[in-house]
Amino acid sequence: MMNLISWEAMQPVRLAIRLLVLCGLLLGTWIRAAAAGDADEGQAHAKKVAKEKTKTPRMAVLPPAPDGVVIERDVTYLAPGRKEKLDLYLPASRPKATRSPAVVIIHGGGWSGGDKASGREFNIGTTLAKAGYVCASVEYFKGAAGRWPTNLYDCKNAVRFLRAHADRYQVDVDHVGVIGGSAGGHLALMVAYTTGVKGLAPEDLYPGISDRVQACVDMYGISDLLTRQAIEADGTPNGKLVQSGLFADKGGQSSDTLKLASPVYHVSKACPPTLILHGLADTTVDREQSVELDRKLSEQGVEHRLILIPGVGHTFDLQEWRRKPLPQDLRPVVTGFFDQHLRP
């Protein structure tokens, strides 16, 4: 005979089943929430890492030195605690008694970016080292606070460094030049034209050693901060004045401050010979900057040459622009200019 279980006897069993189901539901909810939390945290961490990566500047890496050139990377030239270094490009296999002319190379990047090991600087450094020059491609201060004139001080101290270590690097201290592109062109001109100018001389990191140079090459640099213009797509300046990034607080400078930081206002008969190179299709720095400098140098009787290159824009090196050959190979032009003025 079948045994029948009363409703009352089944109550504890039903209660236990309901509790188990409820626990299962709660456990599933907790697991899904934990998984979602881990996913959110992972996504947040990934976003944080990506953000940190975008904040970290990508440092240029020098290619191997070509035959005939020795490269010394990240040489200290500033006061202890300064992180900025310079790269030396040296002619290989020089007799010990040889004294070579030297050139400081100043990179561009709007005064707040760029790198001493960029392609243009490598191109210039190896070209000149093969021609028998000791070159120093310099990293300078690019931070916001005190950017100017610290960047100029650093470049002048690079000139002094070469003279201070003339015996070690076999430098002819009487024949030192400077070359720079874009913002580096501006700083190169300021190095060349402001020796001894009050307020523009660095502290005595190298006491008694001069930062005067005997020749300067300006590649599409800004020469007058008061007259820089916006540019049309074809490279034609349109007359609208634009501000430059030399000062972190754009627009907060007086005309006197801008003049002090502009090469054209330091042009005098004492300026060294200058070679100016500018592309007519430049849409970053208006070509009138170089034309104005050419005019000022002519007025003062300073030996100089202006070369305007058709169909070429900003950031070209001595051979190429945008990986295409220039209409004119500038290697013999630049080495010839330095040979004329830096070789006794």
User: In the chain, what are the domains?
Assistant: 69-342 (3.40.50.1820)
Whose tokens are 């190179």? That residue is 277
Q: What is the 3-state secondary structure (H, E, C) of the chain?
A: CCCCCCHHHHHHHHHHHHHHHHHHHHHHHHHHHHHHHHHHHHHHHHHHHHHHHHHCCCCCCCCCCCCCEEEEEEEECCCCCCCCEEEEEEECCCCCCCCEEEEEEECCCCCCCCCCCCHHHHHHHHHHHHCCCEEEEECCCCCCCCHHHHHHHHHHHHHHHHHHCHHHHCEEEEEEEEEEECHHHHHHHHHHHCCCCCCCCCCCCCCCCCCCCCEEEEECCCCCCCCCEEECCCCCEEEEECCCCCCCCCCCCCHHHHHHCCHHHHCCCCCCCEEEEEECCCCCCCCHHHHHHHHHHHHHCCCEEEEEECCCCCCCCCCEECCEECCCCCHHHHHHHHHHHHCC
Say if residues 179 and 102 touch (Cβ distance below 8 Å).
no
Q: Which of 60, 229, 209, 82 is nearest to 151 (CA)?
A: 82
> pLDDT tens per residue, the chain (344 residues)?
333 334 344 454 454 445 444 444 444 443 344 333 433 333 433 343 333 333 345 568 888 999 999 999 999 999 999 999 999 999 999 999 999 999 999 999 999 999 999 999 999 999 999 999 999 999 999 999 999 999 999 999 999 999 999 999 999 999 999 999 999 999 999 999 999 999 999 988 999 999 999 999 999 999 999 999 999 999 999 999 999 999 987 667 899 999 999 999 999 999 999 999 999 999 999 999 999 999 999 999 999 999 999 999 999 999 999 999 999 999 999 999 999 999 98
The pLDDT value recorded for residue 249 is 79
The pLDDT value recorded for residue 210 is 97
340 residue type, one letter: Q
Say if residues 312 and 305 touch (Cβ distance below 8 Å).
no
Q: Which of 241, 324, 216, 225 is nearest to 279 (CA)?
A: 324
The pLDDT value recorded for residue 100 is 98
**Interatomic CA distance for residues 58 and 16, integer angstroms:** 64
The pLDDT value recorded for residue 58 is 59
Q: Which of 270, 336, 281 is nearest to 303 (CA)?
A: 270
**Interatomic CA distance for residues 282 and 279, integer angstroms:** 5
The pLDDT value recorded for residue 141 is 98
The pLDDT value recorded for residue 21 is 41
**Interatomic CA distance for residues 302 and 276, integer angstroms:** 13
The pLDDT value recorded for residue 18 is 55
- Give the chain's length: 344
Alpha-carbon distances of 61 from 12, 58, 65, 115, 119, rounded to whole Å: 76, 9, 12, 9, 9
